[in-house]
Amino acid sequence: MRGDLLKKGKIYQSLSGFYDVLCDEKIYRTRARGNFRKKKITPTVGDDVEFQTTNENEGYLLNVLPRRNSLVRPPIANIDQALLVTSAVEPDFSYNLLDRQLVSLEINNIKPIIYFTKLDLLDDSKMENFKKIQQSYEKIGYQTILPSLMDKEKLDSLFHEILKNKETVFMGQTGAGKSTLLNQISPGLQLQTGEISKVLNRGKHTTRKVSLMKVNGGLVADTPGFSSYDVLNIDAQYLRNYFPEFKNNAHECKFRGCVHINEPNCKIKELLSDGLIEQTRYDNYLNLYNIIKDRKPIYNKK
C-alpha cells in the first residue's frame, strides 16, 4: 500500500472480521493480516494495536501489543475494573454465579465493583437480607453499590468518580440491567434494553457484541449477557488464592499449601465455624474446587 501510515490505536469494536480502531480521535476500519491466524493471534476489543492505513475505511492490523489482562467471556482486554451488574430478582440473585465472576476477575487482576439492581422489586424483609449480602462482600474487601440507599445526585457523582480515566467492563447475567444502567449514567447512548422472559427467567440478549464507548471521561464496554459461566482454567489447588478472605488468613493454617478442605488445624475452617467466613462463599469454593478437579483434560488436536 503506497502512502500508507503506521499508527497505534485501540480496538473499539470487532464485528464480522473487521476491527474498528480509535486513533487520534478518529475511528479506522481495519482487518487482520493473514499471518494472525497462523500465529493463533485473535485481536480483541480493548487491545492496543499497530496498524497500517491509507484512509479511515481501509487498513490492516500489523501487531497486537502486550496485554495487561484479558477475559474470554466476555472477550475483552486491558481492563482496569469490572462493574458486576447483579440483579436481586428476575433473574434471581445467585451467590454461585457472582462468586464465579469474582474469581475470574481475581485471576486476571481486574478490580470488581458489585452493583445490585432491581432492589425496588423487593419487600422490606428481602431488602434487609440484601443489605446483609452487601455487608458480607464489603467485609471481604469488595466495593459494592446498593443504589436504593443513594439519591440520584450522589449516585451520578459516584459513577463519575468510578469511571473517569478508567477502562471499565459492565458484565453480568442476561437481564440483570447492564444496558439500562448505562442509559441512566449516559442517556445519550440510547442502548437497547429488553424485558425478562417470565417462562425462562432470563432476558433476551439485547447486547450482541462487545464495543467500547466514551462515558464520564473513561471507556466503558457493555457486553452480551449470559446465563451460565465457563469453568475456570486454573489448577484446583490454586483456587484458594482467588478468595481474598482465604488468601489473607492461609498463613495461619498448619500446613503450607492447605486447600482448606480435609487438612487438620485449618484456619479457614476455624473462621468458618466461628461465622467469620460466609458459609455461602465456602460452599461455592468447594463446588468450584470439585468441578475444576474433576474436569477432563483437553488435549490439543494436531
23 annotated binding-site participant: no
173 annotated binding-site participant: yes
266 annotated binding-site participant: yes
Cell (9 digits) for 233: 482454567
172 annotated binding-site participant: yes
Report the distance separating Cα 60 and Cα 45, nearest Å: 15
User: Half-sphere exposure of 31 toward its Cβ, with a 13 Å CA cutoff?
Assistant: 8
53 annotated binding-site participant: no
3-state secondary structure 49-102: EEEEEEECCEEEEEEECCCCCEECCCCEECCCEEEEEEECCCCCCCHHHHHHHH
Report the distance separating Cα 242 and Cα 106, nearest Å: 6
260 annotated binding-site participant: yes
Count CB atoms within 10 A of the CB of residue 123. Answer: 7
Report the distance separating Cα 168 and Cα 190, nearest Å: 18
Count CB atoms within 10 A of the CB of residue 283. Answer: 14
Residue/partner pairs of 129-137 with CB below 8 Å, 24 or more apart: 130/88, 130/93, 133/93, 136/278, 136/281
Question: Grid cell 475456570 — which residue?
Answer: 232
54 annotated binding-site participant: no
Sign, CA dihedral 261-131-160-204, equals positive
Known binding site: residues?
117-120, 172-180, 253, 258, 260, 266
Per the annotation, binding residues for Zn(2+) are 253, 258, 260, 266
Q: Which residues are annotated as a binding site for GTP?
A: 117-120, 172-180
